Amino acid sequence: MEKRASEQEVMMEITRNTASYNQRRMGKPWIARVDFSSPKGDFSWGDWTGDQYNGGAGVLSINANPGDIIAQGQKDNRQPKNSAPDFFVVLVDGSLDKIGDKGAAYKFYLEHKSAAPDLDALRKERITLLARIAEIDTIITG
């Protein structure tokens, strides 16, 4: 998902502490920003800083804007059904509000996607209109 210049100014670093874990059973913790423009979701991965070889505690971090959907998870190698991530929405203050599972996150996206205008399309239309105005000005004054 491409961020626009105005949104990049609001972008903040989200951090989440992770507990130590049994590295033989569990995979490395992960975090991602999820764009549900397609139903499967497009994951933009964040970082985890910790000791994955010894299962030490660590910190997940990712840059996100208010309203972005964040997924956090950790693979359970013995019980894959326990590997489902949790989904959150980023609030204005940078805190995360739990949405639920992937289905709930996609429904949340669908409910809120039409609230924001397509800024890229509006910018392209503005450029086209300004070019046309300049062309008309040249005809009138020339």
User: 59, 37, 41: which is closest to 50 by C-alpha?
Assistant: 59
Question: What whole-number distance in Å separates Cα of residue 106 and Cα of residue 104?
Answer: 5
Question: What whole-number distance in Å separates Cα of residue 64 and Cα of residue 71?
Answer: 12
pLDDT in tens, 102-124: 999 999 999 887 666 667 777 88
User: 60, 71, 66, 63: which is closest to 94 by C-alpha?
Assistant: 66
Residue range 5-115, CATH number: 2.60.40
pLDDT in tens, 10-46: 789 999 999 999 999 999 999 999 999 888 999 999 9
- Asked if the model's pLDDT at residue 95 lies above 50, the reply is yes
Q: Where are the domains of the chain?
A: 5-115
pTM of the model: 0.72
**Residue 100: how many other CB atoms lie within 10 Å:** 12
